[in-house]
Amino acid sequence: MLTVVWCKRDLRLHDHSPLSAAAASGPVLPLYVVEPDYWALDDTSYRQWAFLRQAVDSLRTQIVERGGRLCVKVGDVTDVLARLRDHFGSFRLVAHQETGNAWTFARDNAVRHWCADHAIPFDEYQQYGIWRGRDFTRDRWSKKWDALMAQPILPVPDTVDWVTYGNDDLPTPEALGLAHDGIQDLQPGGRAAAEETLRSFLYDRGEPYQKAMSSPVSGEAACSRLSVHLVAGSLSMREIYQATLQRQEEVRDLQKAERGLWPSAMRSFIGRLHWHCHFMQKLETEPEIEWLPMAQVYVGLRPIPNSTDLLDAYAAGQTGFPFVDACMRYLTATGWVNFRMRAMLMSFASYNLWLPWQQSGAVLARLFTDYEPGIHWSQSQMQAGETGINAVRIYSPVKQGYDQDPTGEFTRRWVPELAHLDGKELQEPWTCEIPPADYPAPIVDYRATTAEAKKKIYALRRTAAARAEAAEVFEKHGSRKPHGVRMRTVKQDGADA
Ligand SMILES: Cc1cc2nc3c(=O)[nH]c(=O)nc-3n(C[C@H](O)[C@H](O)[C@H](O)COP(=O)(O)OP(=O)(O)OC[C@H]3O[C@@H](n4cnc5c(N)ncnc54)[C@H](O)[C@@H]3O)c2cc1C
């Protein structure tokens, strides 16, 4: 029987369980469906499709090199499957499990129902350390993750009996109705780019990782920059993990003087690979956290404001806080910023502007080329202090500028209105004798808003209801590592500060 391999966010031939299973059982039709309704959502953007399109194109080339052809279709997945059924009669459908947003969750359900209604067997394969089911327990999660990632990497099947079926063009972002979003320097996508990014991180760029990751200046080169490739699935998590273990062994064999900072860099990186799935597991277990806080006691804490002025200034990098604006403009131009600055941007929106994380989170989601709903929404509400189980962390928008951009080069580059300033005048231009005319005054008093935010959030956290709910949230979502401390004062998992 024909097997249709539905490629989603697993755009590779290596370590691809559905493809390996399909190739072993008969003819194979590889399928990618571009879904216009998905690309019309509030959390999707031009840059995300521009990147993914390169990854699809790369997969197409890899299949051509092996004598086949990727079937690209534009439309609704169930409509495409119905057309395939009209043409081929019955078939089997295989795919990887996906932990996406509510839209992809509903679409997967629709596909499952369509398959059941039409007697089409549909098998989904696990690719990440994420387990399905609302009653999933966090106990021993990390051990299960290690065991899954230690399994052998599947090679590209030697021979595949490829089947083809028509083909649509890969639409441009404009053809999907996506307006250009200010991206200037898109990370290259596709398998070759992903492999080179992994290699250069493990062998050239990654040594200063642990310290350098905190600043956008040093983090740009020293962070792995693999997040986008994980989103597209150009490399599997297992491939990245095992390449890192191998590098770790090679480093161990080096002379002490040659090892430098590599051991700590590799350890720290492996920890973050766990975090990837740890955070995505939260959305898999409780899909509602895309729009609701993990702890319901925080519902309505930050009402939707009547005006969009603050959100607009934030999104445009026009808040009057130079380092915040520099990070936002850098993110707009490149589609990436380091973890600490993402946390600062979310902290600023949530505590100083008192905006609901759902609103600021949507702005950031569109700007992240590596938008990954499971990580994004868990992190957004965690940085906004609404999980109930993580320590409240309010970043000073001014201190972060001094700490993470001590020479001011980053701030001057991305906020050229301030290019003639330095030191305190650069990071706090409102203290200049004559403040720059072409740069806004701060949109809020950051000291007063921080104090007010602390009062509100701690008052709520101290209530009996909040404490009781925190215990439930921890049971469902809390990391059992690294110190096994039971929540409330648990250090933010996922924070490097
Ligand atoms: C508000 C907020 C929103 C975020 N949204 C996203 C998102 O949409 N997509 C996304 O991939 N990451 C997100 N992150 C996590 C993190 O900032 C990025 O994964 C990281 O900056 C990507 O760069 P990198 O690949 O060079 O990371 P590296 O530091 O090299 O880390 C390697 C990989 O580990 C994972 N990882 C690293 N840090 C974290 C973390 N704190 N939590 C979970 N996984 C982590 C990622 O998969 C990353 O690619 C968010 C963080 C915050 C604070």
pTM, two decimals, is 0.96
Mean pLDDT of 437-450: 98
- Segments making up each domain of the chain, as ranges: 3-127, 191-278, 288-477
| 168 Cα–ligand 1 center, Å | 33
CA distance 494 to 390: 10
| 227 Cα–ligand 1 center, Å | 6
CB 408 within 8 Å of CB 426: yes
| 338 Cα–ligand 1 center, Å | 8
Residue 217, pLDDT > 70, answer: yes
Q: Return the pLDDT at 482.
A: 56
Residues 6+ apart with CB under 8 A from 196: none
CA distance 19 to 3: 9
Residue 492, pLDDT > 50, answer: no
Q: Let me know how many helices (H) and strands (E) the chain has, helices first.
A: 23, 5
Pocket mutation for ligand 1, best pick of 379, 381, 386, 496 (most atoms within 8 Å of C-beta)? 379
E strand or H helix at 96, and its extent? strand 92-96
Q: Return the pLDDT at 85.
A: 98
As given in the structure block, the two tokens for residue 27 are: 């003819």
Residue 140, pLDDT > 90, answer: no
Mean pLDDT of 329-357: 98
Residue 90, pLDDT > 50, answer: yes
- Please spell the DSSP secondary structure of 60-74, one letter per residue: HHHHHHTT---EEEE
Pocket of ligand 1 (CB under 6 A): 213, 223-227, 230, 272-273, 275-276, 279, 338-339, 342-343, 346, 368, 370-372, 375-376, 379-380, 383, 494
Residue 134, pLDDT > 80, answer: no
Residue ID of nearest Cα to ligand 1 atom 3? 376
**Burial (CB count within 10 angstroms: exposed 0-12, middle 13-18, buried 19+), residue 483:** exposed
Could you give the percent of the chain with pLDDT greater than 70?
A: 96
Mean pLDDT of 211-215: 97
Residue 469, pLDDT > 70, answer: yes
E strand or H helix at 264, and its extent? helix 262-285
Structure-token match 């039709």, residue found: 29
Mean pLDDT of 7-32: 98
Q: Return the pLDDT at 475.
A: 87
Q: Return the pLDDT at 184.
A: 98
Residue 491, pLDDT > 80, answer: no
Q: Return the pLDDT at 229.
A: 98
User: What is the dotted CATH code of the domain comprising 288-477?
Assistant: 1.10.579.10
| 32 Cα–ligand 1 center, Å | 26
C-alpha distances (whole Å) from 171 to each of 51, 57, 89, 94, 144 are 12, 11, 28, 24, 40
| 264 Cα–ligand 1 center, Å | 18
Lowest-confidence segment of 70-74, 112-116, 207-211, 386-390 by average pLDDT: 386-390
Describe the strand order of the beta sheet including 28-34 as a list of residue ranges.
Answer: 71-74, 28-34, 3-7, 92-96, 122-125
Q: Does domain 3-127 have CATH number 1.20.140.10?
A: no
CB 405 within 8 Å of CB 411: yes
Average pLDDT, rounded, for the chain: 94
Strand partners, 30: 5
User: How would residue 485 be classed by pLDDT, with cut points 50, 70 and 90?
Assistant: very low
| 495 Cα–ligand 1 center, Å | 10
Q: Return the pLDDT at 133.
A: 80
Ramachandran region, residue 182 (left: φ > 0; alpha: ψ -120 to 50; beta: rest) = left
Residue 258, pLDDT > 70, answer: yes
Summarised one tens digit per residue, pLDDT across range 304-328 is 999 999 999 999 999 999 999 999 9
CA distance 234 to 55: 7
| 3-127 against 288-477: fold identical | no
E strands of 183-248, at which residues?
Answer: none
Lowest-confidence segment of 56-65, 71-80, 164-173 by average pLDDT: 164-173
CA distance 322 to 319: 8
CA distance 218 to 79: 47
